[in-house]
Amino acid sequence: MIEVTLLGTGSPIVDPNRAGPSTLVRAGDQTFLVDCGRGVLMRAAAVGVGAANISALLLTHLHSDHITDLSDIITTRWVTTFTRSPLKVIGPPGTSAVVDATLDALALDISYRVGHHPDLTEGPTVEVEEVTEGVVWASDGVQITVGQTDHRPVTPTIGFRVEFDGASVVLAGDTVPCASLDALAAGAGALVHTVIRKDLVEALPVQRIRDICDYHSSVEQAADTAERAGVGILILTHYVPGIAPGQEEEWRALAAKTFGRQIELGNDLHRVEVHPGVCATNG
């Protein structure tokens, strides 16, 4: 079984009830954090996970709302572990530059802490792997495969497929429908997909906000992708605009026009269990 927790279901728009985009995936004894939007460690703490518990941080792309709390994860992991514990970060090309810039920004803080604590003899260590496709993780029964997505002009962007003990979950990140995502998600137990309500966004009077429609999937498009890929569960997140209380079934109904199986959405900390054999043919 793979456990998926929507740590943050928000977007760049600040919402007092929704943390920034981030999803926690637990498979066996391993814990993966997919993207790290604002407030991610506070949400993770609510389900008993700290920065020191993260097996790897997986970044779908480098838009600011998906990496806002990178510095918090780096620093908190460093100061809460008492043996050398490099943070593994897997992301698209450009990730190394972002991590290096973050460490540069933290340089004064690092020097203060090293100067104050005798047991801190070096700064935080981060191991970055930049990828666009292929198997990027194979450890203790967990395999993670990367495929490209389409969030142009942001490029490259990637999604992750996590497989463990017969269960599988694909995390799409921000993307429009594309053949490479269909291939990555084919036959998966669950697809975690970011979504916007294009009907609501297009009605807004600000062009800058309406611009997001051309590089995000609508609820209906995410459902189409899930249906084409034959996944068992569609998990929606990164809601734009945020789902207002009482509107959940309206959003679900839009997805259900195309996707007739299990549809999950909700508030931060919404949890979904994905068991082996959950897909279009066996679900």
What CATH number does residue 163 fall under?
A: 3.60.15.10
pLDDT at 282 over 60: no
pLDDT at 34 over 90: yes
> Is residue 125 in some structural domain?
yes
pLDDT digits (tens, 9 = 90+) for 164-223: 999 999 999 999 999 999 999 999 999 999 999 999 888 888 898 898 888 899 999 999
> Is residue 165 in some structural domain?
yes
> Is residue 282 in some structural domain?
no
pLDDT at 281 over 80: no
pLDDT at 230: 97
Please give the positions annotated as active site: 65
pLDDT at 200: 85
> Is residue 279 in some structural domain?
no
Domain that includes residue 196, residue range: 2-274
Query: Total domain count for the chain?
Result: 1
pLDDT at 277: 85
> Is residue 90 in some structural domain?
yes
> Is residue 269 in some structural domain?
yes
pLDDT at 149 over 50: yes
pLDDT at 280: 65
> Is residue 280 in some structural domain?
no
pLDDT at 74 over 80: yes
pLDDT at 283 over 50: no
For Cα atoms 30, 178, 32, give the angle at the middle one, nearest 5 degrees: 10
For Cα atoms 281, 228, 260, give the angle at the middle one, nearest 5 degrees: 60
Cα atoms in the 13 Å half-sphere on the side-chain side of 153: 1
pLDDT at 39 over 50: yes
> Is residue 45 in some structural domain?
yes
Distance CA 277, CA 223 (A): 20
